[in-house]
């Protein structure tokens, strides 16, 4: 999973370097695909989402031939796989300058991720991790843009994306966190008719807290 995390970071870094006004989503996706494979990723079991502008407001959608406009968001959510072990990552870029609203929403996503991480430790009920992120977004005025769980179990994958059979970090989970569980924490937000924005990390639960799997792709809002 640590190797896969480095692969997905390399892929998103390459995609960010391709982002500019006038490029297409296809251009960015091609850069991501090439870099991910060159970094050592095998066949990926979870979907790759690369979208721009209003297309990104769907959250989970495929890239198209759409041309990226000045000051539009490009949303990345994808994984990499090494020897059947997955890691995933969300990052957001802007083809130009980020608006004040974009910066606010991105900061809220980062704060929600921090809240989830601070709660993630052995013996904590899984729902508490979700509620920590949700309450942070509510406090920052962005809770109504967050309509999904904070995370899910990630790790070994085969021919299909099978995480639904494992741990779900949502408001009704009755399971407890245990050491060496691995999760993808996903506090991105969707602004209807505008964009999706946010960050994520793949993490391992330790005896006393958590380990973020290193990606080499810093947690920031990229202006390209």
Question: Each residue of 172-221: pLDDT tens digit?
Answer: 999 999 999 999 999 999 999 999 999 999 999 999 999 999 999 999 99
Question: Each residue of 115-138: pLDDT tens digit?
Answer: 999 999 999 999 999 999 999 999
- Centroid of chain to Cα 179: 22
Task: State the pTM of this model.
Answer: 0.96
Cβ 204 vs Cβ 182: under 8 Å: yes
Question: Residues 43, 41, 9, 170: what is their CA dihedral angle, to the nearest 10 degrees?
Answer: 40
Record: fold of 2-223: Creatine Amidinohydrolase (3.90.230)
Enumerate the domain spans of the chain: 2-223
The pLDDT mean for the chain works out to: 96
């Amino acid at each position: 999973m640590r190797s896969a995390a480095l692969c997905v970071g390399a892929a998103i870094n390459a995609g960010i370097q391709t982002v500019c006004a006038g490029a297409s989503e296809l251009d960015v996706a091609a850069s991501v695909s090439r870099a991910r494979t060159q970094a050592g990723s095998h066949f990926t079991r979870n979907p790759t989402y690369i979208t721009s502008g209003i297309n990104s407001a769907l959250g989970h959608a495929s890239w198209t031939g759409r041309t990226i406009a000045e000051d539009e968001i490009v949303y990345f959510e994808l994984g990499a796989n090494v020897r059947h072990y997955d890691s995933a990552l969300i990052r957001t870029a802007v083809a130009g300058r980020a608006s004040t609203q974009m910066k606010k929403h991105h900061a809220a996503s980062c704060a929600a991720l921090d809240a989830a991480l601070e709660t993630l430790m052995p013996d904590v009920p899984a729902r508490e991790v979700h509620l920590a992120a949700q309450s942070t977004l509510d406090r920052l005025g962005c809770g109504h843009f967050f309509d999904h769980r904070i995370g899910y179990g990630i790790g070994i994958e085969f021919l299909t994306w099978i995480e639904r059979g494992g741990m779900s970090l949502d408001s009704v989970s009755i399971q407890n966190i245990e050491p060496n569980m691995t999760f993808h924490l996903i506090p991105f937000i969707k602004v209807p008719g505008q964009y999706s924005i946010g960050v994520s990390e793949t993490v391992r639960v330790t005896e006393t807290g958590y380990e973020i799997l290193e990606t080499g792709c810093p947690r920031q809002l990229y202006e390209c």
